[in-house]
């Protein structure tokens, strides 16, 4: 359910918002009245999908989320266009993908990339907005993964980065709670993505079998949860990690 104008005139940042879950979060925020800044390697498709009605409330910039200078420049442009950031969604993250391997065969250069994109980018963006949020209040939502809780084989670096994000969420939540800032994490499980289209049916069937709900979630399922945590209704929820995985891992 879309809540019209729930985020009217609020400034939102979504990292890695060019496609997939990030794009779904951007669409949800725009639909509920927010002004949204997005940084991703590629944002062309997102801009085309938004349409004219909300285009004046979207600032999409192509940039590398592992580049600290690019993040700082991006934040400056968003604040200049829309005002102080009130909601930050640290969505960007990635496993080693085709470079993933069992730990004894893994490479440190891949670990460092995964940590940079999945953990340090969130810490950098959060530091860029934290001082302002201490003055005005705000919401930070971090994108973890149920892989951190389940400990999937072959994803040691990714699981470490995402569980690091959970620890970061808890500590930052405690620091910022006195200033009306909440910090929470969401941890998606099997969510439909373009990569799924290339997977054999047997793999998809195994994912479904491992999910008590019996189906693969949609990006909009994550976007709805993020929107709730970013809203005034969630003002008394902070330092929490909410798994969106159809029951694959329960805490």
Alpha-carbon gap, residue 187 to 142, rounded angstroms: 9
Query: What is the distance, to the nearest Å, from the Cα of residue 156 to the centroid of all Cα atoms in its chain?
Result: 20
In order, the DSSP letters of 75-102 are: HHHHHHHH-S--EEEE------GGG---
Alpha-carbon gap, residue 57 to 32, rounded angstroms: 11
Catalytic residue among 74, 82, 149, 158: 158
Q: Helices 108-115 and 156-176 sit at what angle, rounded to 10 degrees?
A: 30
Contact (CB, 8 A) for 6 and 32: yes
Query: What is the largest distance, in Å, between two alpha-carbon atoms of the chain?
Result: 52
158 is catalytic: yes
Tokens of 167: 């620890």
Query: Of 181, 185, 183, 133, whose CA–CA distance to 164 is shortest?
Result: 185
Tokens of 122: 């969130």
Q: End-to-end alpha-carbon separation of the chain, Å?
A: 26
Alpha-carbon gap, residue 46 to 43, rounded angstroms: 5
- Distant-in-sequence, close-in-space partners of 199: CB < 8 Å, separation ≥ 6: none
Contact (CB, 8 A) for 60 and 54: no
Residues annotated as part of the active site = 158
């Amino acid at each position: 359910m879309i809540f019209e104008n729930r985020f009217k005139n609020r400034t939102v940042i979504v990292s890695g918002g060019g496609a997939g879950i990030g794009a779904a979060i951007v669409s949800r925020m725009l639909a509920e009245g927010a002004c949204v800044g997005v940084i991703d390697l590629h944002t062309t498709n997102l801009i085309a999908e938004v349409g004219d009605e909300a285009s004046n409330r979207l600032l999409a910039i192509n940039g590398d989320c592992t580049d600290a200078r690019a993040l700082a420049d991006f934040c400056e442009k968003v604040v200049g266009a829309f005002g102080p950031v009130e909601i930050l969604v640290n969505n960007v993250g990635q496993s080693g993908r085709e470079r993933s391997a069992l730990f004894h065969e893994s490479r440190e250069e891949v670990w460092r990339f995964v940590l940079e994109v999945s953990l340090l980018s969130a810490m950098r963006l959060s530091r860029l907005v934290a001082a302002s949020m201490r003055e005005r209040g705000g919401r930070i939502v971090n994108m973890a993964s149920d892989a951190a809780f389940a400990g999937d084989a072959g994803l040691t670096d990714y699981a470490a980065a995402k569980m690091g994000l959970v620890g970061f969420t808890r500590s930052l939540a405690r620091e910022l709670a006195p200033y009306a800032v909440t910090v929470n994490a969401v941890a998606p499980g099997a969510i439909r993505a373009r990569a799924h289209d290339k997977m054999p049916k047997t793999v998809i069937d195994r994912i479904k079998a491992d999910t008590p709900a019996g189906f693969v979630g949609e990006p909009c399922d994550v976007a709805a949860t993020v929107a709730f945590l970013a809203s005034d209704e969630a003002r008394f929820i902070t330092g929490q990690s909410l798994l969106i995985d159809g029951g694959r891992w329960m805490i």
